[in-house]
Structure 1
Amino acid sequence: MNPPLTRALARLSALTLLAGLAVAGPASPASAADLTLTVDVGQVVRPATQVASGGLYGVGSDSEPTTDMLLPLNPTSFTQPPPGTTHLGNGATEPCCDALDVGHNITRAGAQQFIRLPDIYPTFPYEWQGWADWEQKVTTMVEDRLAATDTTNIHGWELWNEPDWTWDTQEAGSFNDGWTRTYELVRSLDPVTPIVGPSPSVYRHDDMLDFMSHARDTGTVPDVIVWHELGDMNWDSFDDHVADYRAIEERLGISPRPIAINEYNSFNQMDIPSVALHWMSAFERHGAREAHRAYWFEAGTFDGLFTLDNEPTASYWLYRWYGEMTGNIVATTPESWLDGVASYDSSRQIVNVAFGGDWGDNTVDVTGLGSFGFSVDVRILSTPGSGRHTHVAEPTLVREATMPVSGGRISVPVDGMDAEGAYQLLVTPAGGPTTSWQQVYEAENATVVNAQTRSSGEASNGYYVGGIDGDADMRSDSFVDFTVNVPEARSYTMTIDYANGTGATSTHGLAYNGSDWSTVSYPPTAGWGQFATTSVTVDLDAGYNVIRLAKGSPHFEGGTGYAEIDRITLS
């Protein structure tokens, strides 16, 4: 057996026994039909936050992948091993990817991370060494994190991984009791950082009901609910799993928790772009907060988005198109295997559709284009169905055209589709978007840390960020990180749309690209959720920059009062 496959195949065999998942299966339909994917620009699903752009062991070090490689993908979050890890995943000869070692790279890329505690053990499945050993390990891991006072991006402790087949019931007792004991230990050391779980390898109603009942009764309900979605072509089950879980919450009187899927896809299909696209579509439609590509192969390659030589693969281009989605995710209606994810940025009038999944001659219908005028420019790119060891230097241009708009609708033919590849459709008013580069950045599209995205008809895109209130320490600091992309290095005017209902001037700290902190002042507005503007000057590098507006942050004394953020505009 090839050593790097040991963990993947061991897990796959166990899943097959436990859940009847197929070990092999077709990656795409056997035949094509004339299918239509419908995109409704006027039907908002949620703010664009790249839900599916995360990875398990996706970052290998402070420079692998480099921050510059990660930024265009706009990653949301990762699951990484704990401080002091000894884990040798997938045949590795040296441990890697310690959450604290990679933390600043992840933060610079605008993402957050869960720490997976049981990956302190060297082997998988884990070899239980007794409660005294485990509790000593947990204490050390948490204390190491608490000592890292400049690390802000830890947004969850994952207490165990796949307990449905890795928990040693004979030696450690029941998992539910073990969860409670570990939860209470972590909370005694760190009462702030969210706790996430239970992280089973597959979703099962009876197991989840049993776990949640026990957690409710012992006061140890996770802050974020995690399970894994693994197996060939299993994306169609996700909506049923979400509905079942929400029914359990309601039955038990538990307030709704965010859902994170911190392992998704399958061993067989990990490197097929159209398969990843199906997962993206399911997670965006059905309410996941975040989802992480599974760790079947090499760590530090963003789970196959880069080759071992740090070059883009075919799947990279799909995730890059997805990373470019701004504004709101809008409704898509699939037909058979043809599916997609779409966004609409009203500030630039750009519709961005990532689609694929079937062979032959198909169509993308886009409705809700009444404001685009009588004609639009369309551009279609493609990426092939090749795997993680094949470098794809750039996507292929399929078509560029100007098309008439009739009744706010266009019908875009896409001939000769490859069911394993993926495609991007860009639609703008004829002559291009309203600005040549993105100038408006919505707060709800940014990295929101210890704050909340809220909806309002007064906000520029229907959403804003409030509750930016924390400044106690690196675990509770509240801030918004905007990843911006500018055409040249120079000074820019940054206008902030904000609300301040305190009746007095409030302040945030402002920093970007490692700069010293400065202060932004927010005079009172008419009330919360009622916005005004203030402007500052920022000196930005050409390309990507990360701008932080913070109530609290390491090396910053903290803002005064409170303020909400709607968006920033660079000019």
Structure 2
Amino acid sequence: MTTGLLAATAILAALVVPAAPATAAAAGNTLVVDAATSIRPVTHVGAGGLYAVSTDTNPAPGLLTPLRLKQHTQPAPGVQQLGNGATVPSGDILKTANAFTRDGAQSYARMPDVYPNFPYRWVSWEDWTQKVNTMVKARVDATGTTNINGWELWNEPDGTWDTAKAGPFLDGWTRTYRLVKQQDAVTPIIGPSYSRYYPDLMRDFMARAKADGTVPDVVVWHELENETYNTVDEHVADYRAIERSLGISPRPISINEYGSPSQIDTPSVAAHYIAQFERTGINDAQRAYWYESGTVGGLVWNNRPTGSYWLYKWYGEMAGNMLAVTPSGDLDGFASYDSSRKIVNVAFGGTFGDNAVQVKGLAGFGDQATVTVNYTPRSGRMTTVDAPTRVSSTTIPIVNGAVTVPVTNQDYLGAYQLVVTPASGPTTSYQQVYEAENATVVNASRLSSTGASNGGYVGRIDGLGDGRSNSFVDFVVEVPTAGAYSLTTRYANGGATTSTQGLAYNGGAYTMVSYAPTGAWGRFATSSSTPVTLKAGYNVIRLAKGSPNFAGGTGFAEIDSLTVAPR
């Protein structure tokens, strides 16, 4: 949702923030995390934003990289939208592509933002056809631009489609879908992008789309109402029932706008949303654009982090698999387990008083665990917070495979992080094994196998051509010091001859990685090491079958993991 109606925003804001507790009486809730039960690979599904990037350098390069953002929605080429007090259009997806690609993110292109006003002011079908043709041609011609993974044909048609002038939206969807596909049969199409989940509208839309052969590749709606962070699961269940009843194969679901105006600045509410997205199998979700573009919905201000930024930083630190989490009252959260380092990472919030987090399933952690609790406040979007607050760090016994960590005098608006490791610390001082299924996967598939480390890998890395069809995996790697490192890949090559992929890092030149046959697909071996020189902090490493400035790999290979070690 883009809007300049700040007065309406102020009215909404007064409705959404939870009421402060009258006393400091203990809430007495216990959040339960099961480290032995994985629900899906870590892919940071709730990390991203609408109009998250304003220009190639706003936010500043490197500021968002630690968040490992998955997905943005940016305006399509030729944007004219002046949202939220802006004086010039910003965020054109072709002009900002380098910024989100640099961080390992992808983006959908929102087409109707070529109109200058919101709600959009329809002119004519002749005008819209010309606009669509121009936008699609600009993207197709940008052969070196990657990480654009969807055309969003319209935005919130329940309130912005001019039926009187343009005719019924379902007719308009079919017409626009076919118009785009005539020029670009490669890039996925996403929609219908209703402003909320409407069961009847969604059923009618999907039935018509199936009949017309225009079912979107990714199904989208928004979650912007005051209480929807508690009802995402109901909406997903209803939508999946619609698919089954119509005989439509399951589509990835995108919530490409979430959070009402005051929710967006409340870390505890963001934690609730992300918890729902992870549990319900959402593919991606983006923070709503209520204020300035280039702030990821208020995560940064003047190129410095706000309180909410640190919740997403904790999310970005998650690796391995997401875990089963059982909420208690208003206390909810999400968690991961990195088995390569023996780290359980929990982010949570939502209630007040004295509460606790229980982490069970800690087999292999020994008799004691080190538990560290951090906190970030609801600072507001214009107040920066340079670092989270360390609440406590202690060593406690593991009893029956579990620890219970108290959180006293909890702030119901802020968010908390709990990190649990064996008492001796993580297996390695920094992450060295990066699972491919946790990385940014472009034009390839996340697959599962008992033979893969962590149970998952990336296959079908087969695409060659231009920036729309190239296949690659981008790893966001963090190292403690600048210097010489070696990279090894755990891979499978079921072919009869050696295959190759290109390896590049931080936008540099490509070198070739070779994969000898392993005897079968899904049967993994380790490649020879490749020497690299990395900078301290974050580096983006790409393994590609095809990519700009790379002639292309030969044969085929599946990627299980990437290991980064000092030389």
Class of the TM-score when normalised by the shorter of the 2 chains: over 0.9
Find the residue that maps to 2:298 and give its secondary structure: coil
Per the alignment, residue 402 of structure 2 pairs with 409
Question: Shift of the alpha carbon at 1:540?
Answer: 1.1
Pairwise mapping of residues 206-217 of structure 1 onto structure 2 (< 5 A)?
206-217=200-211
List gaps (5 residues or longer) in structure 2.
Answer: none
Q: What does 1:361-400 correspond to in 2, within 5 Å?
A: 361-400=354-393
Aligned-pair distance for 1:495? 1.3
Write the mapping of 1:451-470 to structure 2, written as runs, cut at 5 A. 451-470=444-463
**What is the aligned counterpart of 2:174 among 161, 166, 180?**
180
The unaligned stretches of length 5 or more in structure 1 are 17-21
For residues 254-304 of structure 1, the C-alpha deviation after alignment (integer angstroms, 9 at most, x for no partner) is: 111000000001012210110111001010100111000000011101110
- Judge which range, 451-460 or 533-542, deviates more: 533-542
Once the two structures are TM-superposed, the CA of residue 9 in structure 1 deviates from its matched residue by 5.5
Specify which of 526, 536, 546 is matched with residue 540 of structure 2: 546
Q: Check whether the contact 1:28–1:419 (CA below 8 A) recurs between aligned residues.
A: no
Contact map agreement 1:361 1:416 (CA 8 A) in 2: yes
Q: CA deviation at 1:197?
A: 0.2
Q: 2:500 aligns with which of 504, 507, 511?
A: 507
Would the alpha carbon gap of residues 213 and 454 (structure 1) be closer, same or farther in structure 2, given more than 3 Å must change?
same
1:274/1:160 CA distance change after superposition, 3 Å: same
SS in 2 for 1:393: coil
Answering whether residue 9 of structure 2 is matched by residue 6 of structure 1, we say no
Q: Distance in 2 between matches of 1:10 and 1:128?
A: 23
Alpha-carbon contact 2:196-2:225 (below 8 Å) kept: no
Query: In the alignment, is residue 294 of structure 1 matched against residue 285 of structure 2?
Result: no
Query: What amino acid is aligned across from residue 214 of structure 1 in structure 2?
Result: R
Quote the Cα distance in structure 1 between the aligned partners of 2:414 and 2:236: 28
Aligned to 2:18: 27
Alignment of 1:142-291 (within 5 A): 142-291=136-285
Aligned equivalent of 2:424: 431
SS at match of 1:186: helix
Would the alpha carbon gap of residues 521 and 5 (structure 1) be closer, same or farther in structure 2, given more than 3 Å must change? closer
For 2:14 and 2:288, locate their aligned partners in 1 and report how far apart those are by CA, in whole Å: 15
- Deviation string 1:162-184 (CA, Å, 9 cap, x unpaired) is 00010000100000000000000
- After superposition, give the CA deviation of every residue in 1:435-491 in whole Å (9 maximum; x if it has no partner): 011100000010000001011110100100001010122111000001100112222
Q: Secondary structure at the match of 1:326?
A: coil
Residue of structure 1 aligned with 2:490, choices 497, 507, 524: 497
- Residue 515 of structure 1 and its aligned partner are, at CA, apart by 1.7
Q: Which residue number in structure 1 is paired with residue 42 of structure 2?
A: 48
Q: Which residue number corresponds to residue 19 of structure 1?
A: none
Counterparts of 1:28 and 1:329 in 2: how far apart (Å)? 31
Structure 1 residue 29 displacement after superposition: 6.7
Q: Normalization by structure 2: what TM-score?
A: 0.97
- For residues 482 and 433 of structure 1, the distance between their equivalents in structure 2, rounded to whole angstroms, comes to 21
Q: Give the structure 2 partner of residue 140 of structure 1.
A: 134
d(CA) in 2 for partners of 1:473, 1:407: 55
* 8 Å contact from structure 2 (residues 144, 466) kept in 1: no
Q: CA deviation at 1:431?
A: 2.2
User: Is 1:82–2:76 an aligned residue pair?
Assistant: yes
Give 1:256's aligned amino acid: P
- 1:28 positional shift: 5.5
How many residue pairs get matched?
Answer: 560
Would you say the 8 A contact 1:27–1:269 is kept in 2? no
Secondary structure at 2:304 match in 1: coil
The one-letter amino acid paired with 2:364 is S
Query: What is the alpha-carbon distance in structure 2 between the residues aligned to residue 42 and residue 414 of structure 1?
Result: 23
User: Which residue is equivalent to 1:479?
Assistant: 472
Which amino acid in the other structure matches residue 273 of structure 1? P
Counterpart position of 2:52: 58
Matched, 1:131 2:125: yes
- Paired with 2:84 and 2:506, the residues of 1 have a C-alpha distance of 35
Letter in 2 for 1:516: A
AA in 2 matched with 1:383: T
Q: Which amino acid aligns with 1:466?
A: G
Indicate conservation of the 8 Å contact 1:442/1:464, yes or no. Answer: yes
- CA shift at 1:12, angstroms? 9.7
CA distance in 2, matches of 1:277, 1:231: 16
- Kept after mapping to 1: 8 A contact 2:492/2:559: yes
User: Which 4+ residue blocks in structure 1 deviate beyond 2 angstroms?
Assistant: 4-13, 25-32
Taking the aligned partners of 2:254 and 2:5, their CA distance within structure 1 comes to 22
**1:325 aligned to 2:318?**
yes
Distance (whole Å) between structure 1 residues aligned to residue 60 and residue 324 of structure 2: 34
- Whole-Å separation in 2 of the counterparts to 1:410 and 1:256: 38
Answering whether residue 439 of structure 2 is matched by residue 441 of structure 1, we say no
* Structure 2 CA distance for aligned equivalents of residues 408 and 274 of structure 1: 28
Output the amino acid matched with 1:235.
Answer: Y
1:233 and 1:275 in contact (8 A); partners too: no
Equivalent residues of 1:115, 1:154 under 8 A apart: yes
Aligned equivalents of 1:100 and 1:26: distance in 2?
Answer: 37
Q: Give 1:94 deviation, angstroms.
A: 0.5
Matched position secondary structure for 2:264: coil
Q: Please tell me the root mean square deviation across aligned C-alpha atoms, in Å.
A: 1.5
Could you tell me which of 94, 108, 113 is aligned with 2:88?
A: 94
**For residues 7 and 469 of structure 1, do their structure 2 counterparts lie closer, same or farther at Cα, with a shift above 3 Å needed?**
farther
Task: Tell whether the 8 Å contact from 1:23 to 1:231 is kept in structure 2 after alignment.
Answer: no
| Cross-structure match for 2:305 | 312
1:510 & 1:386 partners in 2: Cα distance? 41
Residue identity in the other structure for 2:4: T
Please give the TM-score of this superposition, normalised by the length of structure 1.
Answer: 0.96
The answer as to 2:413 corresponding to 1:420 is yes
CA distance in 1, matches of 2:541, 2:3: 40
Please report how far the alpha carbon of residue 205 of structure 1 lies from its aligned counterpart in structure 2 after TM superposition: 1.0
**Counterpart residue number, 2:64:** 70
Identical columns (%):
59
2:98 alignment partner in structure 1: 104
Q: Distance in 2 between matches of 1:85 and 1:133?
A: 15
**Structure 1, residues 126-147: CA drift from partner, whole Å, max 9, x if none?**
0001000000000001111111
Matched, 1:360 2:353: yes
CA contact (8 A) 1:7 1:89 kept: no
Letter paired with 2:535: D
Q: Which amino acid aligns with 2:91?
A: C
Is the CA contact (8 Å cut-off) linking 1:29 and 1:358 kept in structure 2? no
Q: Which amino acid aligns with 2:239?
A: Y
User: How far apart are the structure 2 equivalents of 1:237 and 1:209?
Assistant: 18
Rounded to whole Å, the distance in 2 between the matches of 1:10 and 1:121 is 21
Equivalence for 1:518: 511
Q: Which amino acid aligns with 1:404?
A: P
Residue number among 333, 336, 351 corresponding to 2:344 in the alignment: 351
